[in-house]
Structure 1
Amino acid sequence: MGTNADNARLVAAAVTKYIGTKDKWPTSGGYGERVDLALINAPLTIQAKFGSQQKDGTFNGVRGAVERYRNAYRDLDSGWLEHLANQDEQHLIALTNKGKLNGQRSKASAIIESAGAFVGRGLETRDEILADIESARSAYVGVKGLGNWTFEYFTMLIGEESAKPDIWITRFTSRALGRQVSHAEAFELVKGGCEGAGVRFVRAGSRHLVVRQHQPPTRHAGNSRLASRLLRRRLAVELTCDPLTPRCPDDRHSPS
């Protein structure tokens, strides 16, 4: 199986080979100061599609839910988490969606409770949350149905160097090592692999390190150079799939 360092080097090589060097990585600021939007986004992605743009210019999926909330409170310029914590559950469901967690609790109710938990600890802004990550983590995972992986994703969406080890990241690391890895191992190996490759660990806004296929697209198999270029382009798009980018892969197998 190799040592952790050996495995991290293999992942680093895969990052460089299939995704490219850090100077070719487009970046995003995620949601910036809008911690409420990040806190809505993270739980909603549990076993859900992120969303795509429709013909009328609106979005479906998780992105559509976040954008509806943003548009409803466009003039809100502070007190974001307190405002979210005071939402009525049914009203938030109507604004976002009817998604439920495993215990059949609505995701909206968990979002409202987590916002209240942050406010109760005096963690109301991006800087306050990032300055006391472990207190913020405790507040978040203390909400029934929410766990460490969506907390990591939440912090990534507001600028922390982190990742959500969903099916795409575990698939990437599993293929890099030639064996199945757990969510926890994938998280640590991607972190170590990115550090080994000399890149920042899954930059804010980059939702996935993705290798859905190592083979070139079938219809271009006869032209290896074109197939390789198309594959790199596809991976670059998926790497930078973020709250501001509509072209995102299915996230139905996300851990909480």
Structure 2
Amino acid sequence: MSTAHVRALLDHVDAKLPRESWPHWTEGWPHEIEAGLLDAAFSARATYGTPTTGVRAVITRWRDHRAAPLDDLTALAAHADEPEGLLAVLNNRQRVPGNYTTKAEAVASAARSLTELGCTTSADLRDDEAQRNAIVGVPGFGAATWECLAMQLGIRTAESHRLVCEFLGEALDLEAPPSTADAEHLVASAAVRLEITPATFTHAVWRHQRAQRRVASAR
């Protein structure tokens, strides 16, 4: 891929997800599985917000409550049987798609399911069937919840890679998405130009593609 391709990609980024107005130019929550799970749950059908509103406000409240690094799911899992305490801390009673439970209750249930598999920290998370099923099996959660959790922790799934490649293909007006090698080169080159990490670039693009998909499905 040439310098012209990288320039075209940057122009597409400026047009579709400008950094000054797009809230997702972050690396996600590396090494913080609790924050990643909360993000995956509370960002569903909700405004992402600023550090003091929306999803990030929920995570901030949990961080203040924990007063510790957010990388131990047992803290959330402890609320699975009696979620009222978690609801009070998070101060958010949004409900999951399908209205089965509150998002806080679903988070606690998912945390317990993962810990029962031996997944308690970010280092334990991997894209395998058992862990995926632990998330997808929670009423109101689904494949998108799992994909979001994995992305927050820097785990690239086949689906997240496909979404990023779709964006790159659209940016360069390609007939087919770029190869894995070309995609990695484009992401790395664009990240250098933007003075961010490749993880930050990938996260922002992935979030944008998910939002576009939701808009398309609602039509």
Both structures adopt the same fold (TM-score exceeding 0.5): yes
Question: What range is the shorter-chain TM-score in?
Answer: 0.5 to 0.7
Figure out how many residues of one structure are paired with residues of the other and give that number. 184
Question: 1:126–1:158: 8 Å Cα contact kept in structure 2?
Answer: yes
Q: Alignment partner of 2:34: what SS?
A: helix
Structure 2 match to 1:15: 9
Once the two structures are superposed, what CA deviation does each residue of 1:40-85 show, in whole Å capped at 9, x if it has no partner?
11110001011125xxxxx01000011000111013676x211111
Bigger RCO of structures 1 and 2 (CA < 8 A, at least 6 apart)? 1
Tell me which moved more, 105-114 or 152-161.
152-161
Distance (whole Å) between structure 1 residues aligned to residue 186 and residue 171 of structure 2 = 18
Greater share of residues in helix: 2
163 and 99 in structure 1: CA distance in 2 versus 1, 3 angstrom threshold? farther
Which of 106, 109, 128 aligns to 1:110? It is 106
Which of 127, 144, 152 aligns to 1:149? It is 144
Once the two structures are superposed, what CA deviation does each residue of 1:183-239 show, in whole Å capped at 9, x if it has no partner?
xxxxx9589697275326x954554328xxxxxxxxxxxxxxxxxxxxxxxxxxx98
Q: Where do 1:155-174 residues align within 5 Å? A: 155-161=150-156
Question: 1:150–1:164: 8 Å Cα contact kept in structure 2?
Answer: no
Do residues 91 (structure 1) and 85 (structure 2) align? yes
Structure 1 match to 2:123: 127
Give, as a single letter, the amino acid of the residue that structure 2 aligns with 1:72.
H
Distance (whole Å) between structure 2 residues aligned to residue 47 and residue 71 of structure 1 = 25
Distance (whole Å) between structure 2 residues aligned to residue 140 and residue 199 of structure 1 = 29
Distance (whole Å) between structure 1 residues aligned to residue 129 and residue 7 of structure 2 = 31
Question: 1:51–1:62: 8 Å Cα contact kept in structure 2?
Answer: yes
Distance (whole Å) between structure 1 residues aligned to residue 102 and residue 117 of structure 2 = 23
TM-score (norm 2): 0.65
* Bigger radius of gyration among the two: 1
Structure 2 match to 1:61: 54
TM-score (norm 1): 0.56
Q: RMSD over aligned Cα, in angstroms? A: 4.2
Structure 1 match to 2:68: 75
